[in-house]
Every structure is written in C-alpha cells, then in structure tokens.
C-alpha cells in the first residue's frame, strides 16, 4: 500500500477515535522511547569505538596515540559530513533552538541519524566534548519529523521537541525530574498542565528504556558520605562566586575560539589546525581525552591520584600545591579542548565539559581551603565537587533548576539541596550579568531569533519578515512630472503612500497622499513640478538583513508611522504596515499560547 494512502487512512482513524491532547500524549510517549533508544545507541557506539582504540596493541603505545586519535576522528567526521550526509550537521541544541525560532519547529530529516554517526566518532576518538547535545538533537529531530508527518501544528511540534529533550536527558542521567526541567529551561516551554503531561510521559518511557538496556548502571557513582553543615554556608557562598567566574571564562573562551576558527575559512583548514592543536593538548594532558566522566567519578570518590597519574611530566601527586595547580590547569585547558573540537568540525555537546569543569572547580576550592588549614574543620571534597557541577550548569547553561534537581537526583536524596540552591543561584545571577544568554542561544539572541520565556519577545521571534512585506505600492521616479504621477499612479493606487526610487531601485524617499491633496487640482503645477518637490524622507527604514522583529516593532513605536519601507540588499523591497504587523502578532500569540 502507498505510504500516503496509508497515512491518510490512519489520520482519518486518529481523528475519529483520539482527541488532539490524547494523540499528543501518545506521541510524547513514543518520542520518549525513541529518544531513549537514541541515547543508548550513541553511548554504546562511543563505548565500542573506545574499546577498539584502547585494545592490547594500542595500549603498548598509549601516549603516542593520544595525539593521533583526535586527528583521525575529526578527519573521519569531515569525510562523513562531506560524502555521506552531504548536508550541514549543526551543533545539537543550538540548531534545534534555531528550528524552533525560524523553521516552525521543523528539523531536517538527516538530523535523525547524522549525529548517531558523527558524535560517537568525535568523542570515541578523543574529541573533548559530550554526547548529551547530539542525543537531544537526535531526539528532537525524531519528534519534529514525527509531528510533521502526522500534520501536527507548530505548537505541538515544539512540545514534542521538548519531550524528546526530556527523554534524552532522562535516559542519559536517569534523572527524570531534572530532564523535564532541562526541557523547560533550555527550550523555553511553558510549564502548564497541557505541557507537563507529555514531558512526564516522555521522561518515563525514556528512563524505562535506559533501565531495560543498561540496568542500574549510572554515569556518576556517588554515595553521600558527608552531610550538609550550617557552618559550610559561607564556603558555598564563595563557591557560587568562583563557579560564576569559571562559567564566564568558559563562555568567553568558547566564543573566542569559535570566532577564530570561523576566520580560517575552509573546513579542511579548520580540521588541520584544530586536529593538531587538540592532539597536542590531549597528548600532554590525557584526562582531557573524550567526555571526561571517569575524571568526575574519581573526584567524587576523592581519588585525585586517579585523575593525575597519567600526567606527561610524571610530576609526583603527593604534593598538595602541585595537585591544585594541575587540577586548575585541567579546568583552563578543558574549555580550550572543547572549543577546539567544535571549531575543527567535531560533533558533540557542552554539557559534559560543563560538568567536568564544575566538578574540578568545586574539588579544587575545597582542597585549597583544607590545605590552608586555618579553619576548625575540613570541607568535604566530594560534596564540593558535586555542588561545583551545579554551579557551572547554572552559569554556562543558564539552567539553575536543572542543575539543582539533577545533582539532587544523582545523590539519591536532598541532603545537599540547600548548598545546591545557594551555589546555583549565585552562579546564575552573576554569570547572566556578564553573559546574558546561555552558551546554546547566544548567537540566536544576537540576531533576535531566540524564543524566550518573555512572551512578547517569543512571539516576535516567531514572526516572519517575508510574510509581512507588502509590495502593492506603486513606485515613483524623482523626476516624474506631477501630472504624470496623478494620472498614472495616484489614480491606479489604493494606497496613500508612494515609494520614490531611482533607476536602480535605490530607495530615495516617500510621497504621502496627504501632502499632495491640496495641489491635486492645481493644473498649473502638473508640468512645472516633479515628484521630487513633494517627496519627504521616510520616518524610519527597516533593514531586511539587520533588523529583527523586536527592532521593527520599536521603529513603529518610536516613529508613530503606519507604514515603513523595507530595504533588502540596499534596494527597495516593499512596505510593512503597522496594522498587518499587529494582526500577525495577535495570530501568532494565539498559536503560541494555545
């Protein structure tokens, strides 16, 4: 049977037996299952590659291959992109946010499988990134295309993308509540009864899928040994400030390195420069190889020697000052290694590097305070490592609720809930002052294309320029006689404004019907005056490439105009009217809030 025929029959059956909300809930559960399967597949493929690379033969030449593997991995990813996928493979969560903002929540079909190939190769061969972003992107593409196939509206497709994100995170971390909060914070979903049920369903099915395939195995092996003490509050306040500084450093370096690689131009040139740089870093600092969860688990067990035992210079790890310096160096270099991996064309996410840097930041802080030995008690290194992860998540990802509940769920209880709240809140507030948007959304925000919890800005970001531009305006030449303008243009137009352009369609000004009304019946002016005599400057001009919808709305508000000209590539394109803009805004607002 033809697929379209079968789909049509299914849709008829669905409309007959299921309401919109019922089908949405069923779809969310299915998407959660698929996201869970995607997470398991990505994890196992990466582990399989790492096992192959660290076999007995390679183990004999372990350090040498630390330099070679990242270059090979990035080259393989380059070849897969160019000859297999043949389409751009965007960074997982940023590309998903862009699809929500500008593509009506429709993600390309190839994103359902492209990250399943490229991300394991990147991470398995030592790329210093994580798998969470590609896992979310894979699930999001599945949710988007599922919704598109079954003709679900944009709001429902967006919700399914959020459900996929919740499912992916729930499967990876076995933390279903934090996964739901992640979807809400990162994708700016409204936490209403209509949205919470699909998110819960996706989170449940995904975590059950994870348990089915991996049992009780978890990413973080942590058992709370030291309970929270009131006397530690001051130190957690300080840790909040330190994680904020680290978050700002992380974000600034990430974008600086990214801009540097963009200037290199050709992807192969970026591959060579980035591959060599990453190989050198990983060769000298082996703990930066791959995601880094082994490092985190060692610190959670207060086993710093397990992290530093492979240092290239064979520096003894029994000196506290050297330990602090080497661990601090890991924080500084991890950010560069992650940024270089992305700049060189690798596919991955920043979630794992964020946890990596956060755990070390917290651990170093506690160990430094204990080393000073000027206080009456010792801080818990493992607790501060754990809470440090929350601080970096809150700062870098701007997701304080996710940070708090993820760590709380990982610990199996809420013993550290108060310090988690303190550190996450301080880190978030300070970081947001200097880095207004999270690392996923900064470039979108700069272009005014970011969906936010601010409903006005969210609606404006969803509105499309092309659908607002009206082109049924009759253009005038500045040298046109007044009589010709009346006879050939004014009579044939139902608009009260006329754009004035030159022979190359460059915009010069406007003529308002109100300005010529008193002269229309003075025949003496027909041959003695031209359009140029009645022309005036436009109160504002909309630049198609540079202005976003928020700026367009502001230009209407500031100018008081009802029609503003649009310039595209410097040429006259048409007008946007305030009435059409407000009508489109109202319709989009109804769609977003329904």
Q: Which of 366, 240, 354, 241 is nearest to 302 (CA)?
A: 366
Residues 289 and 196 in one domain: no
Q: Is residue 220 part of a domain?
A: no
What residue numbers bound the domain in which 350 lies?
230-453
Residue-wise pLDDT for 415-471, tens only, equals 888 999 999 999 999 999 999 888 887 766 666 666 655 555 666 666 677 788 888
CB 137 within 8 A of CB 92: yes
Q: How far apart are CA 406 and CA 422, in angstroms?
A: 15
576 pairs with which residues across the strands? 564
Domain-embedded: residue 168: yes
Supply the pLDDT for residue 57.
47
Q: Are residues 28 and 122 in the same domain?
A: yes
584 or 145, greater pLDDT: 145
Decide if 424 is inside a domain. Answer: yes
Asked if residue 328 and residue 433 are part of one domain, the reply reads yes
For residue 223, is it within any domain? no
Count of structural domains, the chain: 3
Does some domain include residue 224? no
Residue 1 has pLDDT above 60, yes or no: no
Residues 104 and 72 placed together within one structural domain of the fold: yes
Q: Are 294 and 390 contained in the same domain?
A: yes
Residues paired with residue 563 on neighbouring β-strands, in sequence order: 577
Predicted local distance difference test score (pLDDT) of residue 298 = 84
CA 14 – CA 35 distance, rounded (Å): 23
Same domain, 57 and 21: yes
The 10s digit of each residue's pLDDT in 128-149 is: 898 888 888 888 899 888 888 8
pLDDT in tens, 85-127: 888 776 678 778 877 777 777 888 888 888 889 999 999 888 8
Final residue before a domain boundary, out of 453, 484, 518: 453
Q: Are residues 271 and 172 in the same domain?
A: no
Task: Return the CATH number at 419.
Answer: 1.10.3080.10
pLDDT of residue 121: 92
Regarding whether 96 and 150 lie in a shared domain, the answer is yes
**Are residue 254 and residue 201 in the same domain, yes or no?**
no
- Residue 227: count of CB within 10 angstroms of its CB: 10
Residue 307 CB-half CA count within 13 A: 28
Residue 368 inside a domain? The answer is: yes
Residues 364 and 501 in one domain: no
Single out the residue in 453, 479, 509 at which a domain terminates: 453
Task: Please indicate, yes or no, whether residues 71 and 188 belong to a single structural domain of this protein.
Answer: yes
Per residue, the 3-state secondary structure of 418-460, as one string, reads HHHHHHHHHHHHHHHHHCCCCCCCHHHHHCCCCCCCCHHHHHH
For residue 219, tell me if it sits in a domain. no
Distance of CA 421 to the CA centre of its chain: 24
Dist. CA 8–CA 27, nearest whole Å: 17
- Residue 265 belongs to a domain: yes
Boundary-marking domain end, from 388, 423, 453: 453
492 and 441, same structural domain? Answer: no
pLDDT winner (highest mean) among 184-188, 192-196, 323-327, 340-344:
340-344
State pTM to two decimals: 0.79
């Amino acid at each position: 049977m033809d697929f379209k025929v079968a789909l049509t029959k299914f849709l008829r059956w669905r409309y007959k037996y299921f309401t919109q909300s019922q089908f949405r809930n069923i779809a969310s559960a299915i998407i959660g299952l698929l996201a869970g399967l995607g997470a398991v597949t990505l994890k196992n493929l990466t582990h399989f590659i790492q096992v192959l690379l660290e076999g007995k033969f390679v183990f004999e030449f372990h350090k040498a291959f630390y330099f070679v593997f990242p270059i090979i991995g990035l080259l393989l990813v380059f070849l897969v992109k160019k000859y297999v996928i043949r389409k751009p493979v965007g960074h997982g969560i940023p590309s998903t946010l862009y699809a929500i903002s500008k593509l009506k929540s429709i993600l390309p079909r190839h994103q359902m499988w492209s990250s399943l190939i490229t991300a394991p190769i990147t991470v398995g061969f030592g790329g210093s990134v994580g798998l969470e972003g590609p896992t979310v992107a894979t699930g999001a593409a599945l949710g988007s295309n599922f919704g598109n196939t079954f003709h679900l509206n944009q709001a429902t497709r967006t919700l399914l993308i959020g459900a996929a994100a919740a499912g992916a995170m729930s499967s990876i971390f076995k933390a279903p509540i934090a996964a739901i909060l992640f979807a809400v914070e990162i994708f700016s979903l409204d936490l209403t009864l209509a949205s919470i049920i699909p998110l819960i369903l996706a989170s449940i099915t995904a975590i059950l899928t994870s348990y089915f395939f991996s049992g009780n195995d978890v990413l973080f092996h942590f058992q709370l040994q030291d309970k929270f003490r009131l006397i530690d509050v001051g130190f957690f306040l300080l840790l909040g400030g330190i994680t904020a500084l680290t978050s700002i450093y992380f974000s600034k370096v990430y974008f600086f390195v990214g801009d540097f690689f963009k200037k290199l131009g050709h992807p192969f040139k970026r591959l060579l420069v980035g591959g060599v740089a990453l190989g050198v870093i990983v060769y000298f600092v082996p703990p930066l190889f791959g995601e880094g969860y082994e490092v985190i688990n060692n610190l959670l067990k207060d086993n710093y020697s397990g992290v530093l035992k492979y240092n290239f210079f064979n520096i003894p790890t029994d000196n506290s000052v050297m330990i602090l310096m080497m661990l601090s160096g890991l924080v500084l270099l991890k950010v560069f290694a992650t940024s270089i991996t992305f700049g060189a064309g690798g596919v991955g996410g920043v979630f794992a590097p964020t946890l990596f840097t956060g755990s070390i930041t917290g651990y170093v802080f506690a160990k430094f305070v204990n080393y000073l030995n000027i206080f009456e008690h010792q801080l818990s290194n493992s607790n501060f490592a754990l809470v440090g992860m929350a601080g970096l998540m809150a700062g870098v990802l701007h997701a304080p609720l996710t940070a708090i509940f993820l760590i709380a769920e990982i610990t199996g209880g809420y013993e550290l809930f108060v310090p988690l709240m303190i550190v996450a809140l301080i880190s978030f507030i300070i970081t947001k002052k200097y880095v207004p948007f999270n690392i996923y959304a900064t470039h979108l925000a700069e272009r005014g294309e970011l969906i936010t919890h601010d409903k006005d800005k969210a609606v404006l970001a969803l509105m499309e320029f092309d659908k607002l531009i009206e082109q049924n305006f009759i253009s005038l030449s500045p040298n046109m006689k007044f009589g010709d303008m009346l006879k050939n243009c004014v009579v044939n137009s139902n608009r009260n404004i006329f754009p004035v352009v030159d022979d190359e369609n460059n915009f010069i000004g406007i003529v308002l019907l109100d300005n010529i009304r008193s002269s229309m019946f003075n025949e003496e002016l027909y041959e003695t005056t031209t359009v140029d005599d009645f022309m005036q400057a436009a109160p504002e001009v909309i630049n198609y490439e540079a202005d976003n919808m928020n700026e367009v709305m502001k230009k209407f508000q500031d100018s008081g105009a009802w029609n503003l000209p649009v310039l595209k590539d410097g040429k006259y394109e048409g007008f946007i009217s305030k009435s059409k803009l407000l009508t489109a805004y109202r319709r989009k607002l109804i769609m977003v809030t329904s």
